[in-house]
Structure 1
Amino acid sequence: MTPTHDHHATPPPRGSGTSTRRRVFRATLAAFVGLLVLGTALSIALMWPSADRVAPGAGVSDPGGEIVSARVTDVALAPCTTPGAAAASAASAPDSPTGAHTAPPPGADDCVEVRAELPIGKPVEFTIRGPAARGVALAPGDAVRLIAHEVVLDGTAEVNYSFYDVPRGGKLLTIAIVFALIVITVGRWRGAMALLGVGAATTLLVLFILPAILAGKPPVLVAVVGATGIMVIVLYLAHGLTHRTTAALFGSLFGILFTAVAGFGVTRWLRFTGVSSTDDASLVIAVPTLQMNDVLTATIVIAGLGILNDITVAQASSVWEMRSLNPGLPQRQLYLSAMRVGRDHIASSIYTLVFAYAGAMLVMLLLLTTYPRDLIELVTSEQIGQEIVRTLIGAAGLVLAMPVTTACAVLFAAPPETDHGPARNPSAPFWRGNTAG
């Protein structure tokens, strides 16, 4: 008797093996991200500086006296006189040309004599000289901050006052509020989360990275760990816990590590001391144990975070949009198409980075170009060389992070399971995969 074959038997689902592999992949990826977050948190906790180990920098950032507030009552122009000039003039012989008619120094009318009143009602006077006199433009009723210096003359203590700054906290707060309103109005919920991420990242910078470096922790390691923490916070807060965000995070981490390693090697190869300005010198005086070339590397790592975040998120989003528009596109073709988009973004990002650095150091460039120095000598000096290295290494980190982000995004952006499973949703949390609903 011929056996009967059941031609209507249901074959095993073709996508069952693929679904299992994808579930294993999602679980592995979630575990890896969890370990990364846990490791970063533990590293921050282990390197968190105690308050008594942070160098106070006494006498370096201190303006030299007590800072007090006052209210301007009167402003008048007055000839500038160099301290000690009157005594020198009186000591000159009456028939001396220099003693009889001394020409006023350049910018004689730039000095401003200001009368003000302290909160206790005490009237005080001070003089603003040089560029500050031209830029401050005080008027009666303005609030000012003064430095009170106590001097002893002939056994008598006197308090002299000098101009320190004008309070501008309220105006800066207003600008910040207007900026936040613009971001939230245009970006809605995503913009609000981005602002929250910026606030958290700034908190990490102020409470961990800066104090840890001042406390003697390795600056490069602190910068890498702090930058990783900042990226985790900013990316997942602003863009959600998705595969797309994870791809951007992995590309960003590669850029951070490359920048740190390259910066560490290049600063030593070029024999940079890390001291190229008065601010650098003041920091060395405040914290003599600091390795300033390592601090230079740390600045390179931190400075590139913003543009690195931008390019990795944009590249991951490009891959997801391409996959959404053409689910059947092979991974190799998807990677090549996304790389073409990324190359255009790389070009504009490099321009952004270069001109951001150029704008930040514009005053220094203007000053240095006034010196009678050869162009090659000027460019290869440490003061300019540091900025060139910051730009080049930061740009190299951006360029190399782009293909890494693209590869991760292509790997994570699986095509929709339309034949044997639910459709995929790229906005779903990565631990649930991309399953819609």
Structure 2
Amino acid sequence: MGHSHLPSPGAPTRAALAARRRANRLLAWILVPLGLLAFAGMVALWPSGEPGDITVADPYATADGVSIDTGAVQRVVEEDCPSSVALTEAGAQAPQCQVAYTLPPGGGESLPVEVPPEVAKTNAVEPGDTIRYLNLQNVMVDNGAPPYIFMDFVRSVPIAALAVLYAGVVIAVARWRGLRALIGLGGAYAVLAGFILPGLVEGKPPLLLGLVGSSVIMIGVLYFAHGFSARTSTALLGTLFGLAITAGLAAWATDAAHLIGVDNENAYTLINASDQLSISGIILCGLIISGLGVLNDVTITQSSAVWEMYELAPGASAKRLFAGAMRVGRDHIASTVYTIAFAYAGAALPVLILVSLYDRTLMETLTSGELAEEVIRTLVGSIGLVLAIPVTTAVAVLVVKAVGLTGARTGSGDEGTGDGYGAAGSGMTGGSNVNVMPSSRTTGR
């Protein structure tokens, strides 16, 4: 009767732990210089904090005597517009508009807040909503202007509730690693807000800003969330390779496709704000940053796949390991291509609807100024992550074979986890493990 000689999942042996340490030393020779180079670049490019002569009109700035108040909507009615009170007093027919009677923050009588037609058309303002409105009462002159004008909704409660729910779900499912990932995300946004954005405002080289900032972010979040291990280091190498490919393609595409941002209202505002701002540079930096999350996802998966396969079957050849891990990688490629494309399509849905109504061919639509940036972002990000998968897999295979990881797991091996990964912690499916295993069955005699 046949029986399996596959190692049973258990704690790694002393030999396996020693092999992992050798792998870490091998990878450190490559990653430490790259990390030092990234941090040196960050120091050299660090913004001075002086934005220069850039001035942008604040849409929330108010004149003396004008305030932006917050209140709770009591009722919403269709009646004569407060802005047409002069017509009403003259006996003329005043136009109708939506008026939200809102309780001011200090209490008292409800104030008639006039809702603009574009907001009223959506019927979004309802009793119980908290809104912001412009209070012109103290500067009113007899010009027919309404004293209270709707500005925006207060969305603090639903956004805070979703954020708490998201954090709770992540921590409940991923536990300590999920908490570390959330903290790492906060650090990533700190780098974005404190280094990349001010650097772009001051006219620093956008390609270097994107590469250096993204590299520092990936070094931080990968090691913080996944721990210091050969698996994480292998994933980081693949991620940095993907970043380099993405940056090179983004630099070429931004210039070749003439992405200058004049079709974007916010970019147009920045163009007029200062001559030192490069909108093409900002777009280039955005193309590099936009694919970081998915790139991190695919590289850590490929690295863990190779290590798990080899620890479960130490006799597997490099060719067998690479082919098996690439089966996982190809499935991942298929899903992440959809992820990127649909994420950008969802974000640009109003623009897609608008351009679909134009009388233009599909090619003209996709290459128009309104959509070109989204199309190129999808293509550049997808190419970078697809190429990162075989590179990460190859690096992982080379490392595990170079350190001679034999006898990786036994059922009664020495206690310890080495790099913090168990057999069940790699995200691999049982089917993948079985498919890539070399034949190790013998027949009892």
Q: Distance in 2 between matches of 1:426 and 1:204?
A: 35
Instruction: Give 1:198 deviation, angstroms.
Output: 1.3
Q: 2:195 touches 2:213 (CA, 8 Å); kept in 1?
A: yes
Return the match for 1:428 from 413, 418, 421.
Answer: 418
Cα offset for 1:307?
A: 0.8
C-alpha change, 1:326 and 1:417, in structure 2 (3 Å) is closer
User: Is the 1:148–1:161 Cα contact (8 Å) retained in structure 2?
Assistant: yes
Could you tell me how far 1:169 is from its partner in structure 2? 1.7
Sort the Cα spacing of 1:148 and 1:224 in 2 relative to 1 into closer, same or farther, 3 A. farther
| Alpha-carbon shift at residue 289 of structure 1 (Å) | 1.9
Q: Assess if the C-alpha contact under 8 Å between 2:134 and 2:150 holds in 1.
A: yes
**Distance (whole Å) between structure 2 residues aligned to residue 75 and residue 23 of structure 1:** 68
Question: In structure 2, what residue type is equivalent to 1:251?
Answer: G
Distance across 2 between alignment mates of 1:302 and 1:385:
17
2:211 maps to a residue whose letter is V
Is residue 69–residue 145 contact of structure 1 (8 Å, CA) maintained in 2? yes
Give the drift of 1:236. 0.8
- Taking a change above 3 Å as real, the CA distance of residues 67 and 152 of structure 1, as seen in their structure-2 partners, is closer
**Max Rg structure:** 1
If the length of structure 1 is used for normalisation, what is the TM-score?
A: 0.79
Structure 2 residue matching 1:241: 3-state secondary structure: coil
Q: Which residue of 2 aligns with 1:12?
A: none
Q: Distance in 1 between matches of 2:187 and 2:85?
A: 53
Alignment of 1:23-422 (within 5 A): 26-53=24-51, 57-62=55-60, 66-78=67-79, 111-120=97-106, 124-133=111-120, 134-139=122-127, 142-148=129-135, 153=141, 160-414=147-401, 415-418=404-407
For 2:282 and 2:416, the matched residues in 1 are separated by 40
Q: 1: distance between equivalents of 2:395 and 2:217?
A: 20
Identify which range, 398-407 or 285-294, moves more after superposition: 285-294
TM-superposed CA distance for 1:399, in Å, is 1.0
State the shift of 1:268 in Å.
Answer: 1.0
Does structure 1 retain, via aligned residues, the 8 Å contact 2:23–2:400?
no
What is the RMSD computed on CA atoms of the aligned residues?
3.5
Q: Give the Cα–Cα distance (whole angstroms) in 1 for the partners of residues 356 and 195 of structure 2.
A: 38
Unaligned segments of structure 2, at least 5 residues: 1-16, 421-445
TM-score by length of structure 2 reads: 0.77
Aligned residue identity for 1:116: T
How far did residue 412 of structure 1 move? 2.0
Measured at CA, do residues 179 and 29 of structure 1 come closer, stay the same or move farther in structure 2, by a change above 3 Å?
Answer: same
| One-letter amino acid matched to 2:418 | A
User: CA contact under 8 A between 2:132 and 2:152: conserved in structure 1?
Assistant: yes
State whether residues 243 and 426 of structure 1, in contact with CA within 8 Å, keep that contact through their aligned partners in structure 2: no
Identity across aligned pairs (percent)? Answer: 37
User: Residue 61 of structure 1: CA displacement?
Assistant: 4.4
Range 265-274 or range 396-405, more displaced: 265-274
Aligned-residue offset at 1:352: 1.0
In structure 2, relative to structure 1, the CA distance for the partners of 1:390 and 1:64 (3 Å cut) is: farther
Q: CA deviation at 1:225?
A: 1.1
Between the aligned partners of 1:60 and 1:369, the Cα distance in structure 2 is 33
| Structure 2 counterpart SS, 1:257 | helix
SS in 2 for 1:125: strand
Do the aligned partners of 1:67 and 1:148 also contact (CA within 8 Å) in 2?
A: yes
